[in-house]
A = this chain, B = another copy of it.
Amino acid sequence: MTTTPEHDDLAPVLRALRDGLPRTRAQLARELGLSRSTMSTRVDDLLALGLVAPTGDAGSTGGRPASTFAFTPGARIVAGVDLGATHARIVLTDLAAHEIADHREEVCIASGPGPVLDRVVEVVHTLLAEAGRDLADLAGVGVGLPGPVDHASGRPTKPPIMPGWDGHDVAGHLHAGLGSAPVLVDNDVNLMALAEHSSALPQVEHLLFVKVATGIGAGIIADGRVHRGAQGSAGDLGHVAVPGGEPVPCTCGNTGCLEAVAGAAAVAARLREHGVEARTSDDVVALVRGGNIVATQAVRDAGRAVGAVLASCVSLLNPSAIVVGGSMARVGEHLVAGIREVVYARPLPLATQNLRVTTSRIGAHAGALGGAWLAVENAFDTPGLLTRGTAGAADALSPVAPLPAAQVG
């Protein structure tokens, strides 16, 4: 089975069924303004493709009961890949972004794109095999990188902690090992924001996800979409000047940057000045959880500095939720308490009256899960992608059609 104009027509039907609610052919026809005979054909096509399954009989109003159908999220799968400075997390999910497989391992991003991406390909193959699926089922791959990514080309742009990756064709590299499924590449914090929005807070159209770790960055959801900016560097809060902050020198050459004041390394350095041994965010988290007062105060201060910058972001963007994640968020409420102190004090009441500030509910999965969401959204938005072949059909293993430049990188 190959892509046909008829199958492009299935996309609106699939999108309508995405909510998972069962419907009859007649209900679907009414909803989409199509004739019942046209809709009948389309439902038959979707049944044949395994994308829709019968769910039983609708309540009868006299006469023969009408059969209902619902979307089958497990008909295809996607992979979400989150690459950090020292780890790779790879998940497989169905088309509702429910996790089917989850794998995490230590990987050194600084070893360069070759070994890292080859390992990603290997893990995806292994996870597919373990789940009893194959490449023909794969409807897309979403990859998060710990640095700026040019969204149009999907290539990393001068990423500071990723030597050898500048301009690398990440999507092309993965295509070589993973076949024809579209590969989409983004900044990891953008994907965390996408996961928080899509999985945890789907009703929140304006959301700011803030990752506080060694680096500090934000992912922006505006009108329900990721805001990436002109060069893909939006959300780069690490080197914003903290209002009222100390002029601490920063690695970037400026002083008073948020990262130099409130990043994990800055907090650990301050603890050492007070005679408390700490190097990493893990050390800081362990100290706070162990009740160390100096560490707790330092984390609260860091929260206030993050809050001072976020207060400006709230005035500028007027989000209704701020979600705090990253390794430092594991200290519990102390970081968020410091953030709330300043965020609620500064902007005008209209901007904060409905604002929630919380810690991430998704935690360490957020990056990979966001990658899966990116691939899922792309699958529903690309005509013919989900309907180009039946699950397991051998022809889906070979490239079907040239992919748009923005996808293949």
Contacts and interface: CB of A to CB of B under 8 A. Distances in A.
A86 interface: no
A347 B317 contact: no
Interface string A290-322: 000000000000000000110111011111100
A350 interface: yes
Contact of A350 (B233, B315, B350): B233
Given A229-B206, A241-B346, A312 B309 contact: yes
Given A225-B223, A227-B223, A243-B243, A318 B236 contact: yes
B229 A318 contact: yes
A239 B223 CA distance: 24
Contacts of A205: 230
A235 interface: yes
B351 A231 contact: yes
A239 B318 contact: no
A168 interface: no
B218 A316 contact: yes
A345 B256 CA distance: 13
B240 A316 contact: yes
Contacts of A225: 223
A346 B319 CA distance: 24
Contact of A316 (B231, B237, B242, B346): B237
Contacts of A157: 350
Interface string A317-346: 111100000000000000000000000011
Contacts of A353: 231
A354 interface: yes
A244 interface: yes
B233 A312 contact: no
A373 to B, nearest CB: 18
Contact of A317 (B229, B348, B355): B229
Given A220-B317, A234-B316, A237-B316, 10 more contacts: A158-B350, A206-B229, A223-B227, A231-B318, A232-B318, A233-B315, A233-B350, A237-B315, A240-B316, A242-B243
